[in-house]
Amino acid sequence: MTVTEKLSGYTTAARSAGRGAGSATLKSGAALVEAVGRLVDAAVARVLLSDVRVTSAAEGLRQLSRETETEDLADKVQRVVLLATPIVRTVARGAKFTRLPWAMLASSSFSVGIAVRGGVREIQVLSSLVAHRIEQATGEPADHRLVEKVAVDLYLHPKRKLDLTDDRLRLVRLTRKWVLLGAFGRTTSKRAGKALAAADELDGGDLAARWNALQRSSGRASLRDGTPS
């Protein structure tokens, strides 16, 4: 059995255990996803406030290969870790009789912290490259929501075609990836490399044009419905 197949099996077992963990876990899970959303939003905002941009996938990989602390986001990272750890342990206790290696999960705080810190750094580097592609093509500052949307989507599915008509962030999936992979001591570095390669091929002008058209269309629809845009 490959590592990927094993992790897939563990993920299924974790979900099954989590469904039986009760409403408290569900509420904690919602708070965790919200905390991840705030962390990602702040991480992207820090990138866009800077004049420095990652200009290629190769440069992005070089940056990720260097040890860089995200001290300015430390409180938000810690919030995610504090919320994630009891959830993982609850799932672990409910999974004692499944294939899940619950003993390993029970001491997950450190490994989840590493995964979240590494993951948010990957999102920042990827966001910087996405912003560069857009700004290079348009000559204007990149829209925060567009950069965040594209970065998260590429990070989760590097080979999937970007769908800007759905402007939601895949925060539940992102949270699950960081927390579960962190609990198993796995990293997202390989996926981040693929996401950077995909970002390097982006047509920033087309992205910005499609996004702006969708926002204008959404605004007109809101006005027709009598709802402020």
Judge whether 10 lies within some domain. yes
Q: Which amino acid is at 10?
A: Y
First to last CA, the chain: 51
Q: What is the pLDDT along the chain (229 residues), one digit of tens a residue?
A: 443 444 444 344 444 434 444 444 556 788 999 999 999 999 999 999 999 999 999 999 999 998 776 778 999 999 999 998 887 776 655 554 445 554 455 456 778 888 899 999 999 999 999 999 999 999 999 999 999 999 999 999 999 999 999 888 999 999 988 887 777 767 788 889 999 999 999 999 999 999 999 988 876 544 344 444 4
Residues with Cβ within 8 Å of residue 218, at least 6 apart in sequence: 229
Total domains present in the chain: 1
Q: Are 33 and 172 in contact (CB under 8 A)?
A: yes
| Closest to 118 (Cα-Cα) out of 183, 173, 168, 69 | 69
CA–CA distances in Å: residue 83 to residues 31, 145, 206: 7, 25, 39
Residue 119, classified by CB atoms within 10 Å of its CB into exposed (0-12), middle (13-18) or buried (19+), is buried
Judge whether 197 lies within some domain. yes
What is the pLDDT at residue 114? 87
Q: Are 44 and 148 in contact (CB under 8 A)?
A: yes
Judge whether 123 lies within some domain. yes
**Structural domain boundaries enclosing 192:** 3-224
d(CA 129, CA 147): 9
Residues with Cβ within 8 Å of residue 23, at least 6 apart in sequence: none
Residue 42: count of CB within 10 angstroms of its CB = 17
d(CA 121, CA 142): 19
Judge whether 229 lies within some domain. no
